[in-house]
Amino acid sequence: MPVRPFRWGLVGLGRIADTEIVPAISATEGHELSVVVSRDAAKAGAFAASHGAGRGTSSYEEMLASDEVDAVYIATPNALHAEQVMAAAAAGKHVLCDKPLATTVADAERAVAACADAGVHLGLMFQTRRFGGVADAAAAVRGGALGRVALAQVEMSAGRNLPQGWRTEPALAGLGTINNIAVHAIDLLGYLLDANVTEVVALVEREELAVDVAAAVLLRFDNGTLAYVNANQAVPYAQDDFVLYGTEGRALGRNLSRPNREGTLVVTTAAGQTETPASTSNGYQETLAAFAEAVLDGREPSPSGRDGLRSVQVTTAIASALETGSVTRVAAS
């Protein structure tokens, strides 16, 4: 007897949905896109037709009531995420949410609690965890090849590509480049180090916008590692690397911190140096497939809703640090 496909609903039909999420669904065996939602019914219908989805609608509630949807992918403006997560949970739908989970810690906590109470799975699209080279770098940390990681650094940039549309509105976006890009760098560091951020301090550049377009963030993790994040949408020629400096070695991911890149992982220890080619082209697809596998197996997905909550706690501390100009503790629930 054939296995029923894993059926997705999609709300929010912007660039990421169009160029990354829907192609990831289409490329994953056993997955299908059943329903897409936009406030504009004509846009929803056209999007569904162009991507081979079952149908389009302007009603999120209609999609949530559908028996054709197992899980919802949320790709709407940041400030809408938490309420849409909670509505999906109330309808018994699993949720994979674009980052950030919410624009306030209170809303992120409510979203996590709603999914737990409803018995549905909640995951976050921190696809950087599944970029090529990342698992091997994490294994080098966990296996002790690098010794104690004292310092770490991540650089991420979308090139000279300033925030546009709703991403320039604080009420909808919360933060600018910090929520667009830096959250990926911070989640990546936490995953590599298997640690949580405890303190932050930051500086940003806004140019003439109401939100940040470049951020330099210093972080302290609960394992003692100090880290630096350069996340920006302001410079044309980026260096998208991560590096872990340990007491016994170094792991350098060259060109491995942004999607759809070809790079290398270079590990240097007293035993010598290895350089391994790696690609970041399948991060979205692998994250989406891993989420569905976790749902079907009854496991917590990685990244999880708790990871999304921790991310909001960190960005909230960064926002506070920007206001006060001082090192700020990250409040943990």
For residue 300, is pLDDT > 80? yes
For residue 146, is pLDDT > 50? yes
For residue 301, is pLDDT > 50? yes
CB atoms within 10 A of CB 323: 9
Alpha-carbon separation of residue 84 from 20, 78, 99, 112 (angstroms): 21, 10, 13, 12
CB atoms within 10 A of CB 1: 3
CB atoms within 10 A of CB 130: 21
114-123 pLDDT, tens digit each: 999 999 999 9
For residue 1, is pLDDT > 50? no
37-86 pLDDT, tens digit each: 999 999 999 999 999 999 999 999 999 999 999 999 999 999 999 999 99
Q: Predicted confidence band at 333 (pLDDT cuts at 50, 70, 90)?
A: low
CB atoms within 10 A of CB 92: 12
For residue 2, is pLDDT > 60? no
Which pair of structure tokens corresponds to residue 119?
């018995």
For residue 258, is pLDDT > 60? yes
CA 106 to the chain's CA centroid: 19
* Of the candidates 146, 122, 158, 140, the residue with the CA atom closest to the CA atom of residue 240: 158
**Packed helices 183-193 and 305-324: angle between N→C axes, nearest 10 degrees:** 120
Query: According to the model, what pLDDT value does residue 4 have?
Result: 77
CA 8 to the chain's CA centroid: 19
What is the rounded distance in angstroms from the CA atom of residue 58 to the CA atom of residue 156?
35
Percent of the chain with pLDDT over 90: 98
169-182 pLDDT, tens digit each: 999 999 999 999 99
Q: What is the mean pLDDT of residues 3-9?
A: 89
273-286 pLDDT, tens digit each: 999 999 999 999 99
Residue 29: HSE in the Cβ half-sphere, 13 Å Cα cutoff = 1
CA 154 to the chain's CA centroid: 15
193-249 pLDDT, tens digit each: 999 999 999 999 999 999 999 999 999 999 999 999 999 999 999 999 999 999 999
CB atoms within 10 A of CB 117: 11
Chain mean pLDDT for the chain: 97
Backbone angles phi, psi at 59, to 5 degrees: -115, 110
Domains in the chain with CATH codes: 6-127 (3.40.50.720), 129-284+314-329 (3.30.360.10)
Query: According to the model, what pLDDT value does residue 225 have?
Result: 98
For residue 265, is pLDDT > 50? yes
